[in-house]
């Protein structure tokens, strides 16, 4: 079964990465419902997780082209910056925040670190 899952991911990881990218863009620009849960700065954890997932999916999409990994990392960071600017300028219900940019960038860099460790140990073939 693990072999079937690995084959499915290998053949479709580009489409998963594209879907994750579109999902993050949409979720970043829509109006989110209010919740009664008040945990200080929990959204920074969400940002880091989202951009970790985004970056790792793109890195896995192009794992056979290691020269592309820094382009992917820079692209994901730039996407995070652009979305924060759009939240501040395009919407009236969202605000851009430099701390969100830092959280996004942390997620991206963490994904790069983990990807490098995994690829050096040859877990990705």
User: What is the maximum alpha-carbon separation in the chain?
Assistant: 48
Question: Model confidence at 3, in pLDDT bands (50, 70, 90)?
Answer: low
Q: What is the DSSP letter of 38?
A: -
12: number of Cβ within 10 Å: 12
User: How far apart (Å, rounded) are the C-alpha atoms in residues 76 and 12?
Assistant: 20
11: number of Cβ within 10 Å: 9
Q: What residue spans define the domains of the chain?
A: 2-31+41-120
pLDDT at res. 117: 92
Q: Is the pLDDT of residue 1 over 60?
A: no
18-74 pLDDT, tens digit per residue, is: 999 999 999 988 887 777 767 677 888 999 999 999 999 999 999 888 889 999 999
């Amino acid at each position: 079964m693990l072999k079937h899952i690995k084959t499915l991911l290998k053949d479709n990881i580009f489409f998963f990465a594209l879907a994750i990218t579109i999902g993050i863009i949409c979720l970043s620009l829509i109006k989110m419902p209010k919740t009664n849960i008040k945990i200080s700065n929990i959204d920074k954890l969400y940002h880091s997780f989202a951009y970790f997932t985004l970056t790792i999916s793109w890195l896995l999409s192009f794992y056979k082209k290691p020269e592309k990994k820094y382009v992917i990392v820079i692209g994901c960071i730039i996407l995070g910056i652009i979305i924060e600017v759009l939240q501040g300028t395009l919407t009236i219900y969202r605000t851009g925040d430099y701390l969100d940019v830092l959280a996004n960038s942390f997620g991206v860099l963490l994904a790069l670190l983990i990807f490098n460790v995994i690829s050096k140990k040859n877990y990705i073939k």
